């Protein structure tokens, strides 16, 4: 079972993404509203993919990435952000982030990213 940890306020989008990947029983979603909850879960369970919303973390994104990298260096990290946060994203990319996506996001876009990174089939 591949766990995806998501830190985002866009609950509805990620519930739709989860639904679009529902037939793939090898993927399990965990959606967090607080960064410390995500880190606590990450300490206990390996996740091959973590999706972080820069708009929520603001200037703490670099520290968050470093903490996650120290816990599980092989996890892939994807950032989502508003266009105005591109300067913050640029700095974070040097820490080994595999991808970033600029809002607004679509279900198809997020599903494709997850599928590509986890090598999981998409069942629309």
**For residue 40, what are the CA distances in angstroms to 34, 53, 74, 88?**
10, 17, 17, 24
pLDDT along the chain (124 residues), means of 10: 94 92 84 95 96 92 95 96 90 89 95 91 63
pLDDT of residue 121: 72
Q: Where are the alpha helices (DSSP H) in 1-124?
A: 11-20, 35-44, 54-57, 61-71, 86-93, 107-118
Total Cβ atoms within 10 A of residue 10 = 19
pLDDT of residue 90: 81
Place of tokens 């952000």: 81
CB 5 within 8 A of CB 49: yes
pLDDT of residue 124: 53
Q: Domains of the chain: which residue ranges? A: 2-118
User: For 2-118, CATH number?
Assistant: 3.40.50.2300
| Residue 14 DSSP one-character state | H
């Amino acid at each position: 079972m591949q766990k995806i940890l998501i830190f985002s306020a866009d609950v509805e989008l990620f519930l739709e993404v989860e639904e679009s990947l529902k037939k793939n029983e090898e993927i399990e979603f965990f959606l967090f509203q607080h960064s410390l909850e995500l880190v606590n879960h990450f300490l206990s369970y390996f996740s091959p993919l973590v999706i972080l919303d820069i708009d929520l973390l603001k200037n703490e994104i670099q520290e968050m990435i470093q903490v996650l990298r120290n816990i599980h260096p092989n996890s892939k990290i994807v950032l989502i952000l508003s266009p105005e946060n591109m300067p913050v994203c640029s700095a974070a990319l040097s820490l080994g982030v595999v991808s970033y996506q600029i809002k607004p996001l679509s279900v198809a876009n997020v599903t494709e990213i997850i599928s590509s990174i986890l090598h999981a089939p998409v069942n629309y």
